[in-house]
Amino acid sequence: MAAAEIGLNETPAKFVARDVFAWFGDKRVLHGINLDIAANRAIAIIGPSGCGKSTFIRCLNRMHELVPGARIEGQIRLDGIDVYDGGVDPVRLRRRVGMVFQKPNPFPSMSVRENVLAGLRLTGSVPRAGLDETLQKALIQAALWDEVKDRLGDPGISLSGGQQQRLCIARALAVDPDVLLMDEPCSALDPIATAKIEDLIHTLKQSYTIVIVTHSMQQAARVSDQTAFFLSGDLIEFDETNTIFTSPRDSRTEDYITGKFG
C-alpha cells in the first residue's frame, strides 16, 4: 500500500503533508498545508511570528498534540506511512524524527557525555558496547568533539550557548534519526555560533533530511535547498530557495523577503 502511494507521487518524498489543519483550543493556526519534503535536503520554513511555522514542524513529530487543547487534522506521511495512524506509536516516531529547539536545553542534571547519550538512556535501549563510539560519532557530527573531548564529564550546562546548542544537536543525532527538525536553532546564539551551526547543517543534510524554521531570511538563503513561506497559517509559496529569493511568484512572498512586513 505504501509503495502504491509513492508510485502515485512523482518523487519519493520523506515527509508528505496533505491538508494539515491544526488548532490550539478553538484557534485554528494551520489552514490546510500541503507540502512534500524530499529526503536528504534542507528545507527552510520562513514567515512572520505566529504564522504557524513552528506548529507545522511540531505536527511532523507529533509534539503539537502534547500541548493541552491542541489537535490536528489531515494526513502526514513519513516514508509512505501515516504518522497519525492509530498503530503508530508517537514515541517511536520521535526517535526517527529528531528535534532541536529554539533555546539550547541540555539536561542540567547530566554531564556532556550523559547528555549526548540521554536519548539512549531515557528510552532504556542502552547497548553496553559501542556507547563510546556513539558518543564520539554524534559529537563529531555536531562539530563539537574537538572542543569537549577533554571535558566529557563536565556538566552540559557549563558549555557556552553555542556549544550547548551543538550538544543538543549531538543528543538528537545519537538516537540515529532520519529527519532533524530545527525550530529557530540559532535565535539565541551570537553570529559566530550561528555560523558554526549553519556549516553543520550543510554537512548534516548529506545524511539527514533537515527541516529548519528560521526568522532570518539570510539564514534560509544560506542553508536551505528549498524554502517554504508561511503566512497566517497558510503555505503561500514553496520552491527552490534560489527561486523564492530571486523571483517569487506571489507578491506576498516578495513583500516579506524584501522586508516590507514581518
Partner 1 sequence: MRRTGGNRVERAFELCCLAAVIVPLLFLAFLIGDVLIDAAGRMSWDFITGYPSRRAERAGILPALVGSLLLISLTALLALPVGVGAAIYLEEYGKRSKLAELIEINIANLAGVPSVIYGLLGLGLFVRSLGLGRSVLAGAATLSLLVLPIVILSSREALRTVPQALREACYALGSTRWQAIRRVVLPTALPGILTGAILSLSRAIGETAPLIVVGALTYVTFLPDGIDAPFTALPIQIFNWVSRPQREFLVNAAAGIVVLLVTMLLLNALAIFLRNRLQRRSA
Q: Provide the binding-site residues for partner 1, judged by CB under 8 A.
A: 61, 63, 66, 68, 91-95, 98-99, 101, 103, 105, 107-110, 118-119, 121-124, 155, 168, 171-172, 175
Whether 193 contacts 220, CB under 8 Å: no
CB of 112 within 8 A of CB of 174? no
Nearest to 236 by CA among 225, 250, 247: 250
Q: How near is the Cβ of 256 to partner 1 at its closest, in Å?
A: 28
CA 241/CA 164 separation, integer angstroms: 29
- In the complex with partner 1, which residue's Cβ is closer, 45 or 173? 173
Nearer to partner 1, 29 or 63 (CB): 63
Nearer to partner 1, 170 or 231 (CB): 170
Beta pairing, strands 179-183 & 226-231: unpaired
> Please, which residue, 101 or 145, has the CB nearer to partner 1?
101
**Of residues 118 and 152, the one with the C-beta less far from partner 1:** 118
The Cα 253–Cα 238 span in angstroms is 10
Nearest-5° Cα angle at 52, 188 to 165: 25
Contacts of 216 (CB under 8 A, 6+ apart): 186
Residue 174 CB, nearest approach to partner 1 (Å): 9
Query: Which among 143, 146, 142, 150 has a CA at the least distance from the CA of 111?
Result: 150
36 vs 114, beta carbon nearer partner 1:
114
Minimum separation from the CB atom of position 99 to partner 1 (A): 4
Min CB(9)–partner 1 separation in Å: 27
- Euclidean distance between CA atoms 183 and 213, whole angstroms: 5
Q: How far is the CB of 105 from partner 1 (least distance, A)?
A: 4
The least distance separating partner 1 from the CB of residue 19, rounded to whole angstroms, comes to 25
* Cβ neighbours of 50 (radius 10 Å): 13
